[in-house]
Amino acid sequence: MTAKDSATAGLRIAVSPTKDLSAAASTTDGPAAAPAPVPVPAGRNGTLLALLGVTAFSLTFPSTAWGLESFGPWSLVALRSLLAAAVAGAVFVAARVRLPERQHWAGLAVVAGGVVVGFPLLTTLALQTSTTSHAAVVVGLLPLTTAVFSCLRTGSRPPRTFWAAALAGAAVVIAFTVLQSGGGLSTGDLYLFCALLVCAAGYTEGGRLAKVMPGWQVIGWALLLTVPLAVAGAAVALPYEPARLTAHGVVGLVWVSVASTFLGLYVWYRGMADIGVARASQLQLAQPLLTLVWSFLLLGEDITPAAPVAAVAVLVCIAATQRAGARRS
């Protein structure tokens, strides 16, 4: 081959490299590989995981009411934390999980104080004087509270339409709460409002940590941090609150320990890490209405005619917040 022919061949390859390289691959390496599957959008997976978490959380109050049939409030919270920590510890040993980095321990302590100890204890105490349906609608303010904490902690700035829809959803929840309670507030409302604050802080910090470590490790380490406190609490509370085991009590304890505290928070934090804390928090507007359904089916509590109206209004607000969040993303 002459120098001119070589140059012409090289120019031909440079002009159409894809065709020539594909042909070379097909002749030397066999048939071309199948095209890669189109991945599912991450936001869709995050929304699904967050919804699974909301479903697990919606059964927490009815399960707590069942648990109170067998255990006192302090004993139930201590045993709940111990059982959930035992599950997390077994998973950690099987997976050979390494200790988190030092800078994450402060955030894990916030998650432990807000989600593992504060919220379960305050809501359990509230259920001594409040019905599960009343507690559910008060805690319906949690999405807005979490969104505010998220903005303060992470510096996120959702669009105005997001805040308008979130405030509308909160207004529906407040109106529904007042209507359910006959125009007044129960004595357990103070516990519930404090529970909102500590849980929102724990959700926000957990959602932030879930971006740097798996969500199940976030809640797992938070649970393990509370083991000394839970052991001490059980040792002190059980002698003063003797257990009276029933089927409902055992099922309630197992659910709030394994499903609500560990598995529910695992998928919840993964969802928040994917779609954002503020946007995921608005999915929780559906939680009080789901809890009303479970309260009717499992506890036999009456559901007022206002519940379907509130359900439709809240679902509209959820759709608006999700659309606004997706538009900003």
- Residue 314 has which token pair? 């809240």
User: Does the pLDDT value for residue 259 go beyond 50?
Assistant: yes
Instruction: Determine the average pLDDT of the residues in 67-96.
Output: 92
Q: What pLDDT was estimated at residue 5?
A: 52
Instruction: Determine the average pLDDT of the residues in 132-149.
Output: 80
User: Does the pLDDT value for residue 44 go beyond 70?
Assistant: yes
User: Does the pLDDT value for residue 35 go beyond 60?
Assistant: no
Q: Dihedral sign for Cα 60, 62, 66, 72, please.
A: positive
Q: Which residue has the higher pLDDT, 268 or 324?
A: 268
Reported pTM: 0.74
- Count Cα neighbours of 121 within 13 Å in the Cβ-side half-sphere: 19
User: Does the pLDDT value for residue 12 go beyond 60?
Assistant: no
Q: What pLDDT was estimated at residue 9?
A: 47
Q: How far does Cα 177 stand from its chain's mean position?
A: 23
47-51, 53-57, 184-188, 317-321: which range is least confident on average? 184-188
Distance CA 82, CA 76 (A): 10
Distance CA 67, CA 60 (A): 10
User: Does the pLDDT value for residue 78 go beyond 90?
Assistant: yes
Kindly list the distances between the CA atom of residue 229 and the CA atoms of 91, 199, 238, 267, in Å, as whole numbers in the listed order.
21, 18, 14, 25
* Residue from 259, 327, 306 nearest 54 by CA: 259
2-6, 114-118, 261-265: which range is least confident on average? 2-6
User: Does the pLDDT value for residue 64 go beyond 90?
Assistant: yes
Instruction: Determine the average pLDDT of the residues in 172-179.
Output: 77
Q: Dihedral sign for Cα 226, 227, 233, 234, please.
A: positive
pLDDT tens digits, 193-226? 899 999 999 988 888 888 888 878 988 999 999 9
Instruction: Determine the average pLDDT of the residues in 188-193.
Output: 86
User: Does the pLDDT value for residue 272 go beyond 50?
Assistant: yes
Q: Which residue has the higher pLDDT, 10 or 201?
A: 201
Helices (H) and strands (E) in the chain, counts: 18, 0
